[in-house]
């Protein structure tokens, strides 16, 4: 079966990680702008004020995407650039940037995939409670309407949220990401429900304003991989288990309400005394039909009792590699939710630098991508409905609390000169795209 003839081969970025122009043309601070101001929060003491300066260099970057053969580009919108106070007056200059970006992409026949929320909440809303304030679902709907009214005539793929497990888990449970909070289960359940309601209201708004657009959500996931001591069913069951205190990391917690119309029963029973009030109207709103589900997959996980061998390959950031992570992530998700799937992020950080010959050689990335994409091809051959693959990332960028040390890009960015250099892997990926993955 292999990959579909219309398979979307692309790359992805996020607004805060590449745009810079942190206070230009009416943009207000996000929670990440404020988080970066606090000493010790970012490993290398850096911030996103300039980043890759994509805000000013987007035409150059899109031309490079076209030169490298990308068919699609997933990017996110900065909420504080569009509505600086989070609610109220729309900043037309901010919206115009994204409109111009979309036009530039379409000029080169690159399909835009827009993520509405990739973590840069307006700070003005954080001081009102952020995701703990039930009013945030209305604020998010208002923001969504502003974006879709401007872009929905040309953008046909929208993603409501990127990795809610991470922005709540790292930002509101562990406190290592913005806004740096450490909440208990009661507050996390409330915040999670507010995110679900916001998702539902955003889907409703997109359906109304861009009825021919496709809508989905992207989850960060670490697939459970069967091994010699455990069968596929056991891996599947543990993969989708959901219990406190780490329920926010469960894919079932995020997708079951959307697809099945209810939260996981085990969690509801376990947390019945602290679970927020959920009405039938809430669940009807949350469980509106979506068209696809996005998976961000970097690692996998074997079961307890199975130890990874010493010297297991790992990336610069310290993440172990799992050749079959994409295969099993897709197989498990498709078995459970029967929705078309996009791999919305996959890639690795390497110790990349400009060599004496002026090029950036990254053989480890090529090998990693080759292995993972073979696994994805196996899932496609198994009749899973896989629609596209977005490499993370198009360009080296600000890697959140890690700063600028990890380099995930297929394009090297010299942060001093802002020069872009396609790495060897970018040219390898171009050949994969040209063959629609037949050369894997």
Helix axes 232-239, 325-337, angle to 10 degrees: 70
The answer to whether the CB of 209 falls within 8 A of the CB of 149 is yes
Which of 237, 181, 10 shows the shortest CA–CA distance to 105?
10
Phi, psi for 66 (deg, rounded to 5): -65, -40
Q: What's the token pair of residue 420?
A: 């872009």
Whether the ω angle into residue 192 lies within 30 degrees of 0, i.e. cis, is no
> Of 281, 345, 434, 438, which is the active-site residue?
345
Instruction: Decide if 163 is catalytic.
Output: yes
Q: Is 118 a known ligand-binding residue?
A: yes
C-alpha torsion angle, residues 81, 85, 90, 95 (rounded to 10): 10
Q: Which residues contact 244 (CB under 8 A, 6 or more apart)?
A: 185, 267, 270, 271
Hey, which bits of 36-121 come out as E strands?
72-76, 111-117
Q: Is 17 annotated as a binding residue?
A: yes
d(CA 24, CA 272): 46
Task: Judge whether 24 is annotated as a binding position.
Answer: no
Residue 395 in 3-state DSSP? strand
CA angle 292–295–298, rounded 5-degree value:
165
Q: Token pair 């992530």 is at which residue?
A: 329
| Residue 438 per-residue DSSP state | T
Q: Of 226, 230, 392, 361, give the one whose Cα is nearest residue 295.
A: 392
Catalytic entry in 19, 141, 163, 327:
163
Going from the C-alpha of 261 to that of each of 88, 237, 273, 278, 283, the distances in angstroms are 32, 19, 21, 11, 6
162 annotated ligand binder: yes
Question: Do the annotations mark residue 353 as ligand-binding?
Answer: no
Give catalytic residues, as residue numbers. Answer: 163, 345
Annotated binding site for substrate: 17, 118, 162, 298, 392, 399-400
Annotated binding site: 17, 118, 162, 298, 392, 399-400
């Amino acid at each position: 079966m292999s990959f579909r003839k219309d398979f979307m081969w692309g790359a992805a970025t996020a607004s805060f990680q590449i745009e810079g122009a942190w206070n230009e043309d009416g943009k207000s601070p996000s929670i990440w702008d404020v988080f970066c101001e606090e000493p010790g929060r970012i490993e290398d003491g850096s911030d996103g004020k300039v980043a890759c300066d994509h805000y000013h260099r987007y035409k150059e970057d899109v031309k490079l995407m076209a030169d490298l053969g990308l068919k699609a580009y997933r990017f996110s919108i900065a909420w504080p650039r569009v509505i600086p106070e989070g609610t109220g007056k729309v900043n037309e200059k901010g919206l115009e940037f994204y409109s111009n970006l979309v036009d530039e992409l379409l000029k080169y026949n690159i399909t835009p995939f827009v993520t509405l929320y990739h973590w840069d909440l307006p700070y003005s809303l954080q001081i009102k409670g952020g995701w703990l304030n039930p009013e945030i679902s209305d604020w998010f709907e208002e923001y969504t309407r502003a974006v879709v009214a401007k872009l929905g005539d040309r953008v046909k793929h929208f993603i409501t949220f990127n990795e809610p497990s991470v922005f709540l888990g790292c930002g509101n449970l562990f406190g290592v990401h913005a806004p740096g909070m450490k909440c208990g289960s009661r507050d996390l359940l409330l915040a999670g429900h507010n995110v679900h309601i916001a998702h539902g209201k955003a889907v409703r708004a997109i359906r109304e304003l861009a009825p021919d657009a496709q809508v989905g959500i992207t989850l960060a996931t670490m697939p459970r991989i069967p091994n010699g001591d455990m069968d596929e069913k056991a891996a599947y069951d543990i993969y989708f288990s959901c219990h406190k205190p780490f329920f926010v990391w469960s894919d079932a917690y995020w997708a079951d309400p959307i697809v099945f119309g209810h939260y996981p029963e085990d969690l509801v029973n376990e947390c019945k005394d602290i679970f927020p009030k959920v009405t039938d109207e809430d669940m009807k709103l949350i469980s509106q039909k979506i068209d696809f589900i996005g998976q961000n997959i970097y690692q996998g996980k074997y079961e307890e009792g199975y130890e990874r061998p010493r010297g297991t390959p790992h990336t610069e950031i310290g993440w172990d590699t799992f050749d079959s992570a994409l295969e099993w992530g897709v197989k498990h998700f498709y078995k459970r939710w029967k929705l078309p799937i996009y791999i919305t992020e996959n890639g690795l950080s390497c110790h990349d630098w400009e060599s004496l010959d002026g090029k950036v050689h990254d053989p480890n990335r090529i090998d990693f991508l080759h292995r993972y994409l073979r696994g994805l091809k196996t899932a496609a051959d198994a009749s899973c409905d896989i629609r596209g693959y977005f490499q993370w990332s198009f360009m080296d960028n600000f890697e959140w609390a890690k700063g600028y040390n990890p380099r995930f890009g297929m394009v090297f960015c010299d942060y001093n000169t802002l020069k872009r250099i396609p790495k060897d892997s970018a040219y390898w990926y171009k050949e994969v795209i040209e063959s629609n993955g037949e050369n894997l």
